[in-house]
């Protein structure tokens, strides 16, 4: 496939510095690009690499244009696709040149489908897939090898479940959902009550509901509700190894990075962003448009529209100031010890000579 730069501009928006008839055959990094490739420059820090890349064209942000103008763009340099959001433009170009490969519709001979399951049109079901009684697989769904769909579960149209995914009984998956390898949707919530010295299991009889356009990373676990629903709303993206406990509600367009853990009955507002390894306690409410720094620990409700970091979590600016002091603690400890010693000597001398405490007494 080849596309002219004019066609790429039409796809991505923005403007062109260079020859619109130039043909592009693929996308690549600045370092690995060859003639005929288009590369990606995320910010002004990468501009030096433009001069040495073999790419025929480079996507750059508007913020880089003034810097490039100041250096005067060489006529022999690669053509520039100038956009507001280079990440978004590059994603569109990658999708154009490297479209997802979807297997042809059909059911593998080694798949096992219950007679009571309902299959839509154009589905692909790979080897060793098991679909239980009452499950509904809507049109265009792709189930790769060894996927298990539990009793009365539903998989929405055009969703893709990669190898080893388990969707347990009664759970609902929306349209165009992507679930990566070995994720488990609807495992039992962690609910136990003590009877003397022993733990008794609390039955977990709820379900998980994933909205449309949700993406779930590899080895993510999302627990079913004790009663009711664990809900992840439209457009939310979970990175690998995320744990979502029973009865959690996650709003639309939330992003959770790897190894984040959300305890039971917590709610997270829409358009929030969590860094990796964030831990959230149970029964906590986090407002919309909240950003949490990596490795933070959240043990209280947080209003929306702010940035937090730290253990325990605090406003990000305050956390940065605390971190700046942290590396200086040994030095500050030594200074404090010197000050304490000086103060002790001063008090000792004052006690030996009471008049030294009041200069007027010495004059008398």
Catalytic residue numbers read: 246
Quote the CA–CA distance of 240 and 34 in Å, as a whole number: 32
* Structure token digits, residue 187: 């495992």
Contact between 316 and 298 under an 8 Å Cβ cutoff? The reply is: no
The 3-state DSSP class for residue 94 equals helix
In this structure, are residues 116 and 134 in contact, taking their beta carbons and an 8 Å threshold? yes
Secondary structure string (H, E, C) spanning 206-270: CEEEECCCCEECCCCEEECCCCCEEEECCCCEECCCCEECCCCEECCCCEECCCCEECCCCEECC
Structure tokens at 341: 């010693």
Measured N-to-C along each axis, helices 316-326 and 329-352 cross at an angle, to the nearest 10 degrees, of: 70
């Amino acid at each position: 496939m080849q596309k002219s730069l004019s066609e790429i501009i039409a796809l991505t928006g923005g403007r062109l510095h260079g020859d619109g008839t130039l043909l592009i055959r693929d996308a690549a990094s600045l370092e690995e690009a060859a003639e005929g490739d288009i590369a990606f420059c995320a910010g002004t820090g990468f501009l030096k690499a433009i001069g040495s890349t073999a790419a025929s064209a480079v996507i750059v942000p508007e913020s880089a244009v003034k810097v490039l103008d100041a250096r005067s763009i060489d006529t022999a340099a690669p053509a520039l696709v100038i956009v507001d959001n280079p990440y978004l433009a590059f994603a569109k170009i990658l999708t154009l040149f490297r479209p997802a490969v979807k297997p042809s519709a059909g059911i593998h001979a080694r798949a096992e489908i219950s007679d009571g399951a309902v299959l839509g049109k154009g589905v692909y079901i790979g080897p060793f897939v098991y679909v239980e009684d009452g499950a509904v697989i809507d049109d265009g769904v792709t189930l790769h090898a060894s996927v298990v769909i539990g009793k009365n579960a539903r998989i929405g149209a055009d969703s893709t479940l990669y190898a080893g995914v388990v969707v347990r009984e009664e759970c609902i998956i929306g349209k165009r959902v992507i679930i990566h390898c070995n994720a488990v949707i609807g495992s039992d919530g962690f609910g136990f009550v003590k009877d003397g010295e022993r733990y008794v299991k609390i039955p977990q009889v709820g379900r998980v509901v994933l909205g449309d356009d949700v993406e779930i990373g590899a080895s993510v676990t999302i627990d079913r509700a004790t009663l009711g629903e664990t809900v992840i709303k439209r457009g939310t993206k979970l990175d690998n190894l995320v744990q979502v406990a029973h009865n959690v509600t996650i709003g639309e367009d939330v992003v959770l990075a790897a190894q984040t853990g959300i305890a039971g009955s917590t709610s997270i507002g829409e358009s929030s962003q969590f860094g990796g390894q964030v831990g959230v306690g149970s029964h906590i409410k986090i407002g919309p448009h909240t950003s949490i720094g990596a490795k933070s620990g959240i043990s209280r409700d947080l209003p929306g529209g702010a940035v937090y970091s730290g253990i325990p979590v605090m406003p990000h600016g305050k956390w940065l100031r605390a971190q700046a002091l942290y590396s200086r603690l040994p030095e500050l400890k030594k200074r404090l010890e010197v000050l304490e010693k000086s103060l002790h000597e001063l008090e000792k001398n004052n006690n030996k000579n009471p008049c030294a405490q009041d200069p007027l007494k010495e004059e008398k």
